[in-house]
Each structure stands twice: as structure tokens, then as C-alpha cells.
Amino acid sequence: MHGRLRASARLRSALLAAMFGGLFFIVPAVASTSDLTNFNLTETYSTYPTQYRVSTGGAAVEYRWLDSPSKDTVIAAIDCTDGFVLGSAQSIGSGNTAYHTLWGSGSSLYCFQVKGRTAAGQGSMNLHEGRVQR
């Protein structure tokens, strides 16, 4: 009888571990955000130096200005290794602080960077803050 109790306890432990372990796969991924400080732009593209990873489970990559941009801007997500534009570049008007989708189907943990420029004829825009959500 003592052996049966030990076997039953091991079985219970295994079942509980399987049930609770399975919960981790059910929990949806939560998009994370990172701020881009002092993102200085000119009329030619410049890449923000930080590399980002798409959230576990995959997510859209979105960008917004935290402070009201003083110029029209164009922002894109690019591949970390070859600079290929992921999704499409988004034009963001002066004063617009809403999120804009740069890449609609970011693959889980994929590496990307953010690049941007001001619109033609608008000159440079310095010391602005942005946020990438992924």
C-alpha cells in the first residue's frame, strides 16, 4: 500500500506540472515598448542605433512620436542584417503623435531597427522622442 501512495503522489505531481506548464503556452504575448530618445532626422534616412526584437509570439511593429514632431517625417522598420525595409515606410504629419504600423506581421523575436527622415524640403528635426511598440 505504501508503494501505491508514492506512485499516486508522483502521478499527481506529473499531472499538476503538465496542467500548469500548459498555461504558459496559452498566455498571449504582450507587446513591449521602447523609447527612442534624441532621434535626430535630416532629409536623408538615418538609422536609430538600437536593435529591437519583436515580442515573443509575434506582433505588429508600430511607431509614434512622444513629442509633437515639428516636421513631416517618414519612419520605417528595417532588418538588422541587411537594412531591407520590413512592411512599409509610414509618412507621419507634423504634430501627429498617433501610432503608425510599420510592419503588420512581425515574426517572433525578429531583429529590426528604426530609420527615419524628414520630408523633402523641410530641413532637419533634432532632439525628438519616439516610441516603438512590438
Residue 15, pLDDT score = 47
For the stretch 67-122, pLDDT in tens is 999 999 999 999 999 999 999 999 999 999 999 999 998 899 999 999 999 999 99
Cβ–Cβ under 8 Å, residues 36 and 50: yes
**Cα separation values, 41 from 11, 58, 92, 122, 124, Å:** 61, 29, 13, 10, 6
Residue 31, pLDDT score = 72
Q: Does domain 33-133 have CATH number 2.60.120?
A: yes
pLDDT at 56 over 80: yes
